[in-house]
Structure 1
Amino acid sequence: MLRSVVSAVVLGLVLHYAMKYRDWAGFSINIIPKVRPGPCHYARKDGGTEDLTYIGDGIFIASGGYKWNSDRGEILSIDVNDETSVMTPLTITDAPNSDGFMVRCHGISAWRDPESGTIYLYVLTHPESADRVEVFEVVLKGLHLRHIRSIVDPSFTFMKDLVAVGRDQFYITRYNWFRSFVWIRLSHWLHIPEGPILFYDGGQVMRALPDSYFLPNGINASPDKKTIYMAELGTKTIHALQRDDSNKLTTTWKEYVDSAVDNIEVDKDTGDLWIGSHPITFRIVDFFGWFGKIPASQVLRIKIRDGVMTSLEEIYADDGDELNASTVAAYGAGKLVIGSLFTQTVVCDVKYLTK
């Protein structure tokens, strides 16, 4: 009798997990209707731009070269005022002669000093030993980067994204506890909530809140820096977190958006969120290539009014033919720039947006 009860409970748990994983993975989704905000063209056809941000005057800055088995990385720019709108690698001055510098560039964040107007760029990289954050000054005359310092900490194991809220102060998401790809696969399959949000204050790291998340991904801040937004890829949820004077965070709201959300960019004028996302999750986490499907792409816009999400819009969607695995989208100067994990970067004219 006891054996039958135990067997029934185990079978029920297995079936519950299988149903939950099926829904999360999106196995039942076969067709992605194409959605465009206007005419689109390639700014880059190979190499990927995993993260990007808009710094104003039609200029976007992006990270490139994110591949775990690669030993390269680069920072690129694009000026959408130029009709060709192509990605161009940025020159770096004062670069250190050290192993792993600018390897596997990942999340980036730009912060403008309100007094001097100087723009600082924070770039998350993945050297073999431990993750690092490289700090640059964006020199607008001639548009290049001047390296300032490297930030390391034992808690930077396998990080995903960061958002600067002051000079050498940033929130950062830890995607996985361990750097092992075996563990990364297991955490995906078992849905282990092991990722915290950390805060670096210029000298040390602390947990910004006690919660841990299932694959915390992109992170960004409202224009006034009082709200931090985090994309939890594992639960397909956007979190809004209130920031207090001690830099601790408290959840104010969260919304399930039914798409594997990646990086978040914030419109500095409206406060709206622009999100690169993956509408069919199993295609982006198909570690072994069992399914042989090209990852699809999606761009979501979340309208924020008085600190609250008022609507969710799909601005761009593609089955992978034009854009493979969209990770980020940023809007500025009437253009939408969309980056991808390993391959293309697309620029679209935005002909219409709801108010």
Structure 2
Amino acid sequence: MKRFLRILLILLILLAAFVLQILHSGGFFRKVVPGFEGNIIQKINLPGAEDIAISREDRFLIVSSDDRASRWGKGKPRQGGLFMIDLSAESFTPKLLTGAFDSPFYPHGISLLRLDSALHQILAINHANGGHTIEVFLLYGDSLVYEKTLADESMISPNDVVAISVNAFYFTNDHRHTSGTWRLMEDYLGLRQSNVVYASGSSYREVDHGIAYANGINYDPTRNLLFVASPRDFLIKVYSVNSQGDLTFIEDIQAGTGVDNIEFDDSGNLWIGAHPNLMKFASYAAGKSEKAPSEVIQVTYRGIGDYEVSSVFLDDGAIISASTVAVPFTNLIFIGNVMDNELVVWKR
């Protein structure tokens, strides 16, 4: 009997340690103390502005907006859209670009590729009709034209996309499993099952795998580096890119928060919207909490082992819940989110 009790006690201790490790790895015990320099100067009425892309040369933003609160809840789903924001204007007013796009459209990650001063390509991940596609658009000035829809069996659970050239791009799958126990285990146990896919023409192939919830992805052509966010592991993966699209892993940047979409500033620093507490984020996304904490980090990456991670914006959800992206422009930072109703403009 005593032996049985000892074994039971050991099992309970191991179970408790396991649960504590899950909570710790998800930021459950982190204390979020709101703080940032500067002021919030505007809140733009756009629901679920999950991703933002910028053209600094042409001074505009493209915003991916999806009213997930209604789509995930009991309300009637509303068509999502891509919006343009003119950065030269005195106040920022979004202009709907996809009003003529008559297919179901619930955009997620986006990528903007400048072809010339008057022409840009936009890739947008679309979660519609129970499946996943990537919609390709051409932007002529401020007029958007639908070009084509890309679909492939490798699009299991696509999250974000980055164009390398007009016919080549990478995207992340944040899960390997689409439903059931295995998907829950990926979420809560942090199983490293997700991947990165490279597409060139009609060819799609996996170029890395074994990532815990592969999320934001972006490419720095100046340094030929690809960055992939793993919010479940609180890190950013760094790769070099070869001429055939294959990746060589360099290192993990320990970010200390649930990193989401990745953007760059003029100096090549990474700006990332993040979730400091993944448990509170999960509760918020499930409609069980009214708010979730937000964070913006800046990462200066100089080379292997030489980087700095700075938390520059931290909020308990009073200003913005579940931040996903932060795009700097001059002294402004545009912060998007999963399913708040407003895109935040922060002036430093």
Could you say whether these structures have the same fold, taking a TM-score greater than 0.5 normalized by the shorter chain as the test? yes
Shift of 1:349: 2.1
What is the match of residue 61 of structure 2? 60
Shift of 1:198: 0.6
Distance 2:205 2:297 in 1: 31
- List alignment gaps of at least 5 residues for structure 2: none
Q: Which amino acid aligns with 1:193?
A: R
After TM superposition, the structure 1 = structure 2 runs for residues 300-319 of structure 1, keeping only pairs within 5 Å, are 300-305=297-302, 309-319=306-316
Identity of aligned residues (%): 24
What is the match of residue 243 of structure 1? 241
What is the match of residue 94 of structure 2? 87
Shift of 1:318: 1.4
Distance 1:31 1:293 in 2: 16
CA contact (8 A) 1:91 1:144 kept: no
After TM superposition, the structure 1 = structure 2 runs for residues 285-324 of structure 1, keeping only pairs within 5 Å, are 285-286=282-283, 288=286, 292=289, 294-305=291-302, 309-324=306-321
* Aligned-pair Cα RMSD in Å: 2.5
1:306/1:20 CA distance change after superposition, 3 Å: closer
What is the match of residue 139 of structure 1? 140
CA contact (8 A) 2:83 2:95 kept: yes
Distance 2:253 2:330 in 1: 28
CA contact (8 A) 1:223 1:266 kept: no
Distance 2:33 2:296 in 1: 12
What is the match of residue 121 of structure 2? 120
CA contact (8 A) 1:283 1:296 kept: yes
What is the match of residue 353 of structure 1? none
CA contact (8 A) 1:43 1:86 kept: no
Which of 317, 334, 338 lines up with 1:337 in the alignment?
A: 334
CA contact (8 A) 2:28 2:280 kept: no
Shift of 1:174: 0.3
Corresponding residue SS for 1:156: coil
1:203 matches 2:210: no
Q: Which amino acid aligns with 1:24?
A: S
1:282 matches 2:279: yes
CA contact (8 A) 1:111 1:120 kept: yes
1:139/1:181 CA distance change after superposition, 3 Å: farther
Which of 246, 255, 258 lines up with 2:256 in the alignment?
A: 258
Distance 1:139 1:308 in 2: 42
Corresponding residue SS for 1:106: strand
Shift of 1:86: 2.8
Distance 1:225 1:167 in 2: 19
What is the match of residue 176 of structure 1? 175
CA contact (8 A) 2:53 2:112 kept: yes
What is the match of residue 187 of structure 2? 188
1:271/1:329 CA distance change after superposition, 3 Å: same
Distance 2:159 2:198 in 1: 13
Distance 1:179 1:66 in 2: 21
Q: Which string of whole-angstrom CA distances, capped at 9 and with x for unpartnered residues, describes residues 130-164 of structure 1?
A: 20100111111xx1211111100012121110111
1:217 matches 2:215: yes
Name the count of aligned residue pairs.
Answer: 338
- List alignment gaps of at least 5 residues for structure 1: 351-355
CA contact (8 A) 1:92 1:144 kept: no
Structure 1: which 4+ aligned runs deviate by more than 6 Å? 1-6
CA contact (8 A) 2:32 2:315 kept: no
What is the match of residue 110 of structure 1? 112
TM-score by length of 2: 0.88
Q: Which amino acid aligns with 2:280?
A: R
1:326/1:78 CA distance change after superposition, 3 Å: same
Distance 2:90 2:306 in 1: 34
CA contact (8 A) 2:327 2:333 kept: yes
Corresponding residue SS for 1:196: strand
Q: Which string of whole-angstrom CA distances, capped at 9 and with x for unpartnered residues, describes residues 5-63 of structure 1?
A: 87566445423321211212323234422213x22233424512000011123311110
CA contact (8 A) 2:297 2:309 kept: yes
More strand as a share of residues: 2
Q: Which amino acid aligns with 2:22?
A: Y
Distance 2:175 2:247 in 1: 20
Q: Which amino acid aligns with 1:105?
A: P
Distance 1:132 1:239 in 2: 25
Distance 1:147 1:183 in 2: 36
